[in-house]
Structure 1
Amino acid sequence: MGEDVEAQEFTRADRTRYREKVRRCLDVFERMLSESAFDTDDPYTGLEVEFNLVDDAGDPALRNAEVLDAIADPDFQTELGQFNVEMNWPPAPLRGSALSRMEAGLRDTLNQAETRSAKVGAHLVMIGILPTLRPEHLAEDTISQNPRYSLLSEQILAARGEDISIDIRGVERLRTTSDSIMPEAACTSTQLHVQTTPDRFAAYWNASQAISGIQLAVAANSPYLLGKQLWRETRIPLFEQAADTRSEELKAQGVRPRVWFGERWITSVFDLFEENVRYFPALLPVTDDEEDPLTVLEAGGTPNLAELRLHNGTIYRWNRPIYDISGGLPHLRVENRVLAAGPTVVDTVANAAFYFGLVRTLAESDRPLWSQMSFSAAEENFHHAAQRGIEAEVYWPGVGRVRATELVLRRLLPMAHDGLLAWGVDSAEADRYLAIIEQRCLEGTNAAEWFARQMVERGSDERYDDLRATLADYRSGMADNRPVHTW
């Protein structure tokens, strides 16, 4: 959820000072893009995974503080809800057997974390939305202890001026309201990071936007929320509604949402940060009075741009620009936030391989895909795939409307394979992980589809009993690390 902040109240003067500082940071960032040496020699890729915590019965376990104490690993951190934790996987170059090392390392780390968390009565589950959540688990008193989350909740509710309304129409319909942002905690994701040069950032971001719908189609994993079967990737509409600062009147006026697909292809990373400053008021106007970014830059240093980064962290683009510093040098990343968590480590690495390979090929193409495709078509693909999952049809240049699975099998898997080789990944390594994506498409099965089918087979009158039983089978498949299409 971004940088930590201290509990506090904000005045009108705080907001004015923060706006001025953010704009100064933006000016310095623009200058850095043309003058500074960004870290581009050996681009890294990275991974973050969010988890749900459940008890032995499969119900939410509100114990993330105890779990983090038990795990005692700085790579695990708190998240919004007391039934959430997040794990950060160290970034590394994507070459050789990097994917296999990622899989082995993730499995080892998660097995150790599971052993330790089980001692305090909680178990880690990788799934986009925990299906056994009930309304009481999304109440204000289940927010994590970190002051950042309570502040965010207060500021979003204050900006709205009314309770948050959730209305999702899928296989069934869910309508509810909340007096906090806790419904957002139901959304647990896998976040993929790809480092790029300033001059290539726009190409990687545009490519990421263009393939977001395809990612959702093959990897959807959140079909149930509060006992209702909704979209195959219910995370998408839930997150869009749960973090919406707009009243109905502001929506009618066309005010942009904070959970945002965007509205255009870009030509520079600056476009995205400039939009952030131009369109969105501050949610957490915390000003760092110790750094003047221009003074730091002119002295030969690398400014933190703390306000610009904090502001960016409260605007939830599905592909978010990241400015960061490592080893004293600035760098840029695309943070791909499209995918749900899970269902297994090997599926997660396969999803990462598909994204990293495909985005590389498209971003480095001589004829950009986004020059042949409207931005609105990419957004329509995104939401349709979230709703339909593995059965989605999408638009693709030169093809027209096509089943996403057919598009992946005929065109995109070879492109992803070429992209992985361009990163330096071993050919056999690329074959192994992309074969998992191939089999999902051939079988017409991803995690959301598997879960929904299991629920149909059970079909008792006790929906939550069926959800617990199906989740138990899901956890078994997750523990065995068997790709979901083999379950």
Structure 2
Amino acid sequence: MGDERVHLPESKEESQQFLKYLLRDVRAMEKMLNEGWFEIDNVRIGAEQEVCLIDQYAKPSPIAMELMEKLGDNGFTTELARFNLEANLTPQLFEGKCLSNLETEILEKLDQIRDVMRDFDGDVALAGVLPTIRKSDLDIKNLTPLQRYRALCDAINKLRGEEYDLRIQGADELLMRFDTPLLEASNTGFQVHLQVSPNEFVEKYNLAQAIAGPVLASAVNSPLLFGKRLWSETRIALFHQSVDTRTVGDHLRDSSPRVTFGNDWIKESILEIYREDIARYRVILSSNVDEDVEKLLEEGKVPQLRALQIHNGTVYRWNRPCYGISEGKPHLRIENRVFPSGPTVSDEIANAAFWLGLLNGMGQHYPNIHEKLDFDDVRMNFFAASKLGMDTKFRWINDKRVSAVELITEELLPIAREGLENAGVDKGDISSYLDIIEDRADSGQTGSFWMVKSYNELSKKVSREQALTALTNAMVKNQKKGEPVHRWGLAKVDDMENWQPHTLLVEEFMTTDLFTVQKDDILELVANLIDWRRIRYVPVEDDSKHLVGLITMRKVFRDYNNVIHGKSKESTSVDDIMIKNPITIHPEASILQAIEIMDEQQIGCLPVVKNNRLVGVITEQNYMTITKRLLRVLDKKKSLNS
């Protein structure tokens, strides 16, 4: 949805007019298909590389607009958030050294971005979800200030409401409330395009659906969000929920989300998808369409089909149909939106080679794939791969249950090699990139496996925030080296060389695994919590998670001491001794602000509150963790300077 002129419909009449243009575009495409307007002589591939912009502390750097001014219009474009950028790559004929040419161009684009980022003391990271991203980074202030992005956010909020809950269950569970669709900006991907002729579209599109699960299983690179270990490819769940405009009803009515894998095989043409998207999804954006498609067709001129392209840009299929024009000739493409960004450019091109080879070779081995696989199984394969990566068990041809490793290495890789050979792709390219997929499958080390394994080891030694920083720094270093992820060693504590406490927010260091009581609870429960959990502070909250007080270990000891020495009667409930209206802090305040408050007020605990709800606590123990790491950094710098 790159059209700058899109906006929310301002009236019912404008929505109706845009819908007329949309239906007219569909009729125009039908006419073009029937009359053979589309290019069939050439097959091209293309790609879009999305990147995360990071500062010197490995946190998101919202400077995309400033960066674009220096980069100029050299194939770069903005994304939804100010800390992301996209590079559009030159289409290549699907032959010869197209794959290595694509890799060379991506590396050149990344070098251009890095050269400019140095002026801002920043860098670039390739990750499906940046490990160090924080909830505060997803504030609406980081929305890229362009009309089309504001219009999209307003449209989603209008349909869904401004607040919604995100819930993803993996090894950990994430349950969090958001008030902006900017959550989707946590995702960055590597989109791959394949041009197909109209008469091949149905077969190729169905094959793309069939192989989506296996190719994703080998490519997963997004296991972490806000320090939680979730799906192997958390992007999938995150994208589905972040732009889901459905509301909950009283009855079991079927309703498709705007981010969708699809509902069935297609049978006749690309028009089935466009018609379904018009039937299922309301028009949420409009534009001043100024082309008369019927007149253009009469004159033999190729229309842009702007209304169709705008609506297509608001329905997010993981395999998206695309209409485009090259050198005055219309063409059809399949856009693979499954792959995450990273771990390295070599890994990305290997993923693309695997997918392209399969699309070009599967049809010979499995003609009419829709007769051999149940669509529900294909869809479940996709979501299973999103959750489990290379540990997935797929339901495959002839109802066979097969592991991801076995399916990829024994069946799909040989077909992909054959498909690339049939396209005339250079043999060196074929071996170079498909060997990466084979080695990755044999080792089991995908980007997600490396991240989770590194994070688990780092978390035994340092805080969550420090572990995520070290992980991101190690990832960027490995990306610059360029070796594929299956060769990476685990991230180390020493990878935090630029870590500094003044860059931290309270939300990054606060304790979120809380043990709380209510004001009517007995003090014996509090005493046991302090003993069992080895904690010094117990927040008091009501049924709605509103903070109403705080109990300290000192308060409990003092109460028992007074009872023992006959100075007072035993308190009966938490309400009798709790600190009412305790001093609190916001999760997006700086860690230095928290330290200053605790020092000035001579307190050892600050409850962290947002929207009047308790979300965490920050204590002197958290500062011990910060101080320990800071002293190590200072000692290391001293050793290097001596």
Give the TM interval when normalised to the shorter protein: over 0.9
Rounded to whole Å, the distance in 2 between the matches of 1:45 and 1:191 is: 11
Secondary structure (helix, strand or coil) at the match of 1:429 reads helix
Going from structure 1 to structure 2, the CA distance change for 1:61 and 1:246 (only over 3 Å counts) comes to same
TM-score by length of 1: 0.97
Partner residue, 1:436: 436
Task: Name the amino acid aligned to 1:82.
Answer: R
Shift of 1:369: 2.5
Deviations 1:373-402 (A, max 9, x none): 011101100000000012111111046111
Partner residue, 1:406: 406
Partner residue, 1:342: 342
Partner residue, 1:18: 18
Secondary structure (helix, strand or coil) at the match of 1:388 reads helix
Q: Tell me whether 271-280 or 247-256 shows the greater mean CA deviation.
A: 247-256
Secondary structure (helix, strand or coil) at the match of 1:113 reads helix
Shift of 1:441: 0.5
Partner residue, 1:40: 40
Secondary structure (helix, strand or coil) at the match of 2:472 reads helix
Partner residue, 2:470: 469
Deviations 1:227-266 (A, max 9, x none): 2111010000000000111112299421211001001110
Secondary structure (helix, strand or coil) at the match of 2:195 reads strand
Partner residue, 1:147: 147
Rounded to whole Å, the distance in 2 between the matches of 1:182 and 1:189 is: 16
Rounded to whole Å, the distance in 1 between the matches of 2:86 and 2:255 is: 31
* Equivalent pair of 2:50/2:189 in contact (CA under 8 Å): yes
Partner residue, 1:481: 482
Q: Tell me whether 301-310 or 9-18 shows the greater mean CA deviation.
A: 9-18
Rounded to whole Å, the distance in 1 between the matches of 2:6 and 2:235 is: 28
* Equivalent pair of 1:323/1:332 in contact (CA under 8 Å): yes
Rounded to whole Å, the distance in 2 between the matches of 1:368 and 1:121 is: 53
Secondary structure (helix, strand or coil) at the match of 1:245 reads coil
State whether structure 2 residue 213 is matched by structure 1 residue 213: yes
Secondary structure (helix, strand or coil) at the match of 2:176 reads strand
Identity %: 35
Task: Name the amino acid aligned to 1:376.
Answer: D
Secondary structure (helix, strand or coil) at the match of 1:314 reads coil
Residue correspondence of structure 1 range 361-440 to structure 2 within 5 A:
361-365=361-365, 367-398=367-398, 400-440=400-440
Higher RCO (CA-CA < 8 Å; seq separation 6+): 1
* Equivalent pair of 1:203/1:364 in contact (CA under 8 Å): no
Secondary structure (helix, strand or coil) at the match of 1:334 reads strand
* Equivalent pair of 1:443/1:485 in contact (CA under 8 Å): yes
Shift of 1:121: 2.8
* Equivalent pair of 2:9/2:284 in contact (CA under 8 Å): no
Rounded to whole Å, the distance in 2 between the matches of 1:21 and 1:68 is: 33
* Equivalent pair of 2:354/2:434 in contact (CA under 8 Å): yes
Task: Name the amino acid aligned to 1:466.
Answer: A
Task: Name the amino acid aligned to 2:423.
Answer: W
Secondary structure (helix, strand or coil) at the match of 1:320 reads strand
* Equivalent pair of 1:160/1:245 in contact (CA under 8 Å): yes
Residue correspondence of structure 1 range 253-332 to structure 2 within 5 A:
253-267=253-267, 268-288=269-289, 290-332=290-332
- Tell me the number of residue pairs that the alignment of Structure 1 and Structure 2 aligns: 486
Partner residue, 1:50: 50
Rounded to whole Å, the distance in 1 between the matches of 2:445 and 2:399 is: 23
Shift of 1:279: 1.2
Shift of 1:188: 0.5
Stretches of structure 1 lacking an aligned partner (at least 5 in a row): none
Partner residue, 1:29: 29
Deviations 1:74-109 (A, max 9, x none): 211100011100011111112112212222222122
Rounded to whole Å, the distance in 2 between the matches of 1:384 and 1:409 is: 19
Secondary structure (helix, strand or coil) at the match of 1:21 reads helix
Partner residue, 2:245: 245
Partner residue, 1:97: 97
* Equivalent pair of 2:454/2:471 in contact (CA under 8 Å): yes
Task: Name the amino acid aligned to 1:468.
Answer: T
Residue correspondence of structure 1 range 75-154 to structure 2 within 5 A:
75-154=75-154
Rounded to whole Å, the distance in 2 between the matches of 1:383 and 1:177 is: 23
Secondary structure (helix, strand or coil) at the match of 1:131 reads coil
Partner residue, 2:67: 67
Going from structure 1 to structure 2, the CA distance change for 1:402 and 1:197 (only over 3 Å counts) comes to same
Secondary structure (helix, strand or coil) at the match of 1:248 reads coil
Secondary structure (helix, strand or coil) at the match of 1:90 reads coil
* Equivalent pair of 1:362/1:368 in contact (CA under 8 Å): no
* Equivalent pair of 2:87/2:109 in contact (CA under 8 Å): no
Deviations 1:137-178 (A, max 9, x none): 111111001111111011011011352321111111111122
Going from structure 1 to structure 2, the CA distance change for 1:4 and 1:354 (only over 3 Å counts) comes to same
Task: Name the amino acid aligned to 2:335.
Answer: E
Task: Name the amino acid aligned to 1:476.
Answer: K
Going from structure 1 to structure 2, the CA distance change for 1:227 and 1:477 (only over 3 Å counts) comes to same
Runs of 4+ in 1 over 3 A off after TM superposition: 6-9, 363-366
* Equivalent pair of 1:66/1:120 in contact (CA under 8 Å): no
Task: Name the amino acid aligned to 1:387.
Answer: K
